[in-house]
Amino acid sequence: MEELSSLQLSEEDIKSLKETFYQQAMELIESLIQEVLSLEEKSDKGDSLKTIKRIFHTLKGDSASIGLKELSSLTHKAEDLLQAVEDGSIEVDGDLTDLLLKTADCINGAIELNLTGKDTPLVPVIAEKIGSFLKGRSIEQHAACSYDAPLVLGEYEKLLLAENRKQGKGIYFVRLHFSADCQMKSAGAMIISQHITGIGEVIKASPPLDDREIESAAIIELIIASSMNAEEVRKFCSIPGIVDEVTAEEFQEQGLAIAHKGALEAKGESARQDKLARSTTIRVESERMDQIMDLVGELVIGRSMIARLFSEFEERFPREEMLGRFAYVNSFIERSLSDLQRSVMKLRMVPIDRVFKRFPRVVRDLAKASNKDIKLMIHGQETEVDKGLVDMIGEPLIHILRNAIDHGIETMEEREALGKERQGTISLEAYHQGNDIIIEVKDDGRGIDVKKIKEKALEKGLISKGAMEKMDDKDAIDFIFLPGFSTAKVVSEVSGRGVGMDVVRSVVDGLRGSVRVKTEVGAGTTFMLRFPLTLAIIKALMFSACDRLFAIPLASVKEITRVFVKEVALINGKEVLRMREKVIPLVRLEEVLNLGSRSRKMDKLFVVIVSIEDKDIGIAVNKLVGEEELVIKSVTDQWVNTNIVGGASILGNGQVVLILNPLVLIKKAGERAVNDELLAANSGQ
């Protein structure tokens, strides 16, 4: 840390610099991994190679500026490796991709450890691997490199060229091919430089004659000013043992002018874009965004309080002259707060690509570990979702991908025998549907054998034989989300222990989402995850049950009906409603939440029909309160010990309302039905 300490910065300043570097470096490393993975897919790799080299160059400069000399040296070696690839000395293949990915991982690990004041021993190891790779894979190429475009000169080089023109000298483009006998190219380049001074002046050299890149170069291209003609220059530059082939031709200044103009325009446009990005983008800590969201939530509660006050004022003083002014102010505050709320919600929305861009690397590594050839196709990565959702959905998606790779996609030999392409395909897609965000993970593998799932459930005692025969495929597939449930015969490094899919269901439930599975044996499986667009504020239907106030997301409410108590039927001891030739289970909140005895006996009931994933239940309620926009507050186990309650909110009058999770309610109703089947089966034995 000599560089930073020599600036006499405080510890706080140094810490701030390191954190800024860390944030920028993480973004660069993510881009680096994406570009490296794209190398294997693109036929034209030029743009990706330039981007990768630029990222390494940026990391080199940034790491050196905060005193990470070892990391700076590693990134410099990585630049050497990329230069060798650009020169054609090293081919792009799987081994190169693996090395570049390991380098990215090493840089990432070194930066994270440095924040804690530790060093990683991997940096010198990876640096040595790069050095060995350069020595072992370097191949000399003596074939002439095509000179597709003229060299681009800087302002100083243009002045040199003009000055030599005035002196009557010729300007030549010279290409020197290193001899196979030249074992030390850097020394050879030094001799070339000294030799050429005898005939004129070197205006431009690529690579520079004093650069380390010379060692991996097969050819040197020069722009030379000399009094000799082209043939004399060619003969003079042929140096036995160092240069075995020379071409020399007049340099076309017209081409230079065009190239220079284009380069300047591109450079100017790039600078303008960079300036625009710097002037319109502000980096804000996520904690500050959460604080703003919390404040907006409090304002929403305040808006509700004002609305209630206005309603009371209007009812008590219907002829008051100030009523119109009060109504105007109330409307103005409501409209402004709604605009503020929408604006803050947009600030919380981020592209789902922040999650998706991790997965090409995950799929590549897992496919390699499973000895399978798998292609990942990503669609809808620009779809925007709530930041809180982005932070949470990565883990369940990884578990789904792992299962698709290990259980879903067949081996290359199996696929070929089945008449499929040897390369399997996994599709990852995100899109909006109403007020929800849908994420689909689809594979073209073997599909899920529902029969095996039922047999495994029966073996584990999760279902009776009679219930198994009646159970439809959709309900049977739900068993895969139970902890420890797996139909795999062999436990692999990737999956097979029954750990993972239960995590998927747990995280999805916690985010008030749902997961649905579609499968066809031999054709593949699709996991469809559905989440609400926002996790902070929802529109909800409020009602009372057993003298308590509850709310349920309005998007889950299918309809509201009122029935006579005598219309409630009993099937296997459970209350159900018959509506339009469909039997709907009836849920009493006092029973599932253990709230005590039922409320007073009534002739009629309000029933809220809730629908999730084509499954319906009815919630018996005493009174409907109405629709309300609620700010969701998390509820800890200290206050509520059931996941049926997904959160709470505070109304304008200070009353607390519990927000129900409809998916868990439906799941609980299903579990009770299965348990009753098991009890009946056991009692009959």
Specify the CATH number for the domain of residue 590: 2.40.50.180
| Domain carrying residue 310 | 287-350
Residue 146 lies in a domain: no
Residue 280 lies in a domain: no
CATH number at residue 380: 3.30.565.10
Beta bridge partners of 623: 544
* Nearest residue to 571 via CA among 561, 582, 583: 583
Residue 491 lies in a domain: yes
Q: What separation in angstroms does the CA of 385 have from each of 173, 331, 391, 669?
A: 55, 30, 10, 30
Residue-level pLDDT at 272: 44
Residue 643 falls in the annotated catalytic set: no
Instruction: Give the residue, 588 or 267, on which the prediction is more confident.
Output: 588
The pLDDT tens digits for 103-136 are: 888 888 887 777 766 666 778 888 888 888 887 7
Residue 379 pLDDT greater than 90, yes or no: yes
Domain identity same for 645 and 604: yes
- In the chain, the percentage of residues whose pLDDT exceeds 90 is 7
Q: For 5, what's the count of Cα atoms within 13 Å in the CB-facing half-sphere?
A: 4
Residue-level pLDDT at 628: 81
Span 364-393, average pLDDT? 86
Domain identity same for 346 and 361: no
Provide the Cα torsion 149, 152, 158, 164; round to 10°.
-40
Domain identity same for 376 and 233: no
Separation CA 176–CA 375 (nearest Å)? 43
Which residues fall within 8 angstroms of residue 204, CB to CB, at 6 or more apart?
Answer: 151, 153, 157, 222, 223
At 210, is the pLDDT very low, low, confident or very high (cuts 50, 70, 90)?
low
Domain identity same for 36 and 46: yes
pTM for the structure as a whole: 0.59
Domain identity same for 74 and 132: yes
Separation CA 85–CA 602 (nearest Å)? 81
Catalytic residue among 114, 164, 330, 403: 403
Question: How does DSSP classify residue 75?
Answer: H
Instruction: Give the residue, 451 or 497, on which the prediction is more confident.
Output: 451
Domain identity same for 459 and 386: yes
The pLDDT tens digits for 639-676 are: 565 667 877 887 767 788 888 888 777 777 665 554 45
Residue 274 lies in a domain: no
* Nearest residue to 608 via CA among 646, 647, 660: 660
Residue 163 falls in the annotated catalytic set: no
Beta bridge partners of 201: 225
Catalytic residue among 30, 40, 57, 195: 57
Residue-level pLDDT at 441: 94
Question: Over the chain, what is the mean pLDDT?
Answer: 77
Residue 244 burial (C-beta neighbours within 10 Å; 0-12, 13-18, 19+): middle
Residue 260 falls in the annotated catalytic set: no
Residue 494 pLDDT greater than 70, yes or no: no
- Domain-ending residue, one of 137, 171, 202: 137
Domain identity same for 502 and 587: no
Residue 23 dihedral angles phi and psi, to the nearest 5°? -60, -45
Domain identity same for 595 and 455: no
The pLDDT tens digits for 590-621 are: 877 777 655 556 678 889 998 876 778 888 88
Residue 250 lies in a domain: yes
Domain identity same for 527 and 543: no
Residue 444 burial (C-beta neighbours within 10 Å; 0-12, 13-18, 19+): buried
Residue 500 pLDDT greater than 80, yes or no: no
Residue-level pLDDT at 600: 56
Domain identity same for 413 and 399: yes
Q: Which of 240-244, 266-270, 406-410, 527-531 has the lowest mean pLDDT?
A: 266-270
Beta bridge partners of 616: 611
- Domain-ending residue, one of 484, 499, 532: 532
At 491, is the pLDDT very low, low, confident or very high (cuts 50, 70, 90)?
very low
Residue 39 dihedral angles phi and psi, to the nearest 5°? -60, -40
Separation CA 351–CA 280 (nearest Å)? 18
Residue 282 pLDDT greater than 50, yes or no: yes
The pLDDT tens digits for 397-434 are: 988 998 899 889 999 999 999 999 999 999 999 998 87
Residue-level pLDDT at 526: 94
The pLDDT tens digits for 574-594 are: 888 888 778 888 888 887 777
Residue-level pLDDT at 410: 92
CATH number at residue 13: 1.20.120.160
Span 506-515, average pLDDT? 81
Kindly tell me the sign of the dihedral angle through the C-alpha atoms of 534, 535, 539, 540: positive
The pLDDT tens digits for 298-310 are: 787 788 788 888 8
Question: How does DSSP classify residue 633?
Answer: B
Catalytic residue among 79, 215, 440, 677: 79
Residue 391 pLDDT greater than 60, yes or no: yes
Q: Which of 58-62, 160-164, 564-568, 637-641 has the lowest mean pLDDT?
A: 637-641
Residue 193 lies in a domain: yes
Residue 602 lies in a domain: yes
Domain identity same for 133 and 230: no
Count of domains for the chain: 5
With beta carbons less than 8 A apart as the criterion, state whether 89 and 218 touch: yes
Q: Which of 169-173, 211-215, 262-266, 478-482 has the lowest mean pLDDT?
A: 262-266
Residue 681 pLDDT greater than 50, yes or no: no
- Domain-ending residue, one of 499, 532, 565: 532
Domain identity same for 359 and 450: yes
Residue-level pLDDT at 91: 80
Residue 278 lies in a domain: no
Residue-level pLDDT at 596: 65
